[in-house]
Chains A and B, each alone.
Chain A
Amino acid sequence: MKIFRSLAVFAALLFMSLPVLAQQDVEMADEMRKNGKIYVVVAVMLTILIGLILYLVRLDRKISRMERAGKS
């Protein structure tokens, strides 16, 4: 009887490690990170963002100029 109990405890402990596998089983972009391509994605997104921001700055300056001209 005692050996069955210890076997059962042993099996339970063994199966308790299964949730750890859940971390590796979820497919993420690790491949992209490993070969450095994630930085390309970041670079592209930042380029688009900076481009749009520069457009906004240009608009802001243009409007400031028009406001100053109107005040004269």
Chain B
Amino acid sequence: MYKSWWKILSVALLIYTFTAGLLTDVPRLPQLQETIRNLYFHVCMWFGMMILFMVSVVYAIKYLRSNNLRHDIYSRQFATVGILFGVLGYLTGTIWMSYTWADPNNPAYASFRTIAREPKLIGAAIALLIYLAYMVLRDSIQDIDKKARVSAVYNIFAFAMLFPTIWILPRLLPSLHPGGEGEGNPALNYNDIDDSMRLVFYPAVAGWTLLGVWITTLKIRLNLLKEQKLIK
């Protein structure tokens, strides 16, 4: 948490993402046009969220095995920043869809009708709500050890629910997102993503995730300081 090499790496990768993301050539696809560059921002938010939630559940399990409250603090903060990334992913997705999925020739409610039925949107909303319930659960229990134990178990359930809601069901149903019924694995599939985009996409995922980890470590350190003060 105290070393700076990976923080500098994060900044370098993000500067690369912002510059190369806008200036390099991208595949010219109808309807998407230049917004395909959102792959380096919107999609990275969701990838970052998955990784942060993964770290959160690892620390939750570590807590259950060791009863060390430090792991519980780590678990909570990673989940918090994961929720932040998820909300940002949702917001950027809303902005993106208003230019690509919404049909300017139809009245707003007609587009909304189709978009509201998009399985990935519903799934992501459910997943985020489950994690928000985790935060409410934490704050509802007074005793620190009981709070840590109950919320660690809930964390495991919440993480498990990410997969059916965001990954499995949306792939089985017809979807506006890439990867819907019959389309296979988008973004990570070797044939689905152009080489020029992969050059920026992979560093972007690393950059955004490291940024998320940096923000989380700051929150953890603040929390640990607070705990110290309480004991004194």
Contacts and interface: CB of A to CB of B under 8 A. Distances in A.
Interface of A: 22-23, 25-29, 38, 41-42, 45-46, 49-50, 53, 56, 59-60, 63-64, 66-67, 70
> What's the interface size class on B, roughly?
20 to 34
Given A53-B11, A63-B221, A63-B225, A28 B23 contact: no
Contact of B218 (A29, A38, A50, A63): A63
B28 interface: yes
Nearest to B220: A63
Contacts of A29: 33-34
Interface string B1-18: 010000100010011001
A49 B18 CA distance: 9
A67 B23 contact: no
B18 A42 contact: yes
A46 B19 contact: yes
Interface in B211-231: 214-215, 218, 221-222, 225, 228-229
A38 B23 CA distance: 8
A52 B222 CA distance: 19
Interface of B: 2, 7, 11, 14-15, 18-19, 22-23, 28-30, 33-34, 214-215, 218, 221-222, 225, 228-229
Contact of B215 (A28, A38, A56, A64): A56
Contacts of A66: 225
A12 B163 CA distance: 49
B33 A60 contact: no
Nearest to A23: B28
B218 A70 contact: no
Contact of A46 (B7, B18, B222, B229): B18
Contacts of A46: 15, 18-19
A42 B19 CA distance: 6
Given A22-B30, A67-B225, 11 more contacts: A23-B28, A25-B30, A27-B33, A28-B28, A38-B23, A49-B18, A56-B215, A60-B214, A60-B218, A63-B225, A70-B225
A23 B120 CA distance: 30
Nearest to A54: B11
A70 B227 CA distance: 12
23 contacts: A25-B30, A26-B28, A26-B33, A28-B28, A28-B33, A28-B34, A29-B33, A38-B22, A41-B22, A42-B22, A42-B23, A50-B15, A53-B11, A56-B215, A56-B218, A59-B218, A60-B214, A60-B218, A63-B222, A63-B225, A67-B221, A70-B225, A70-B228
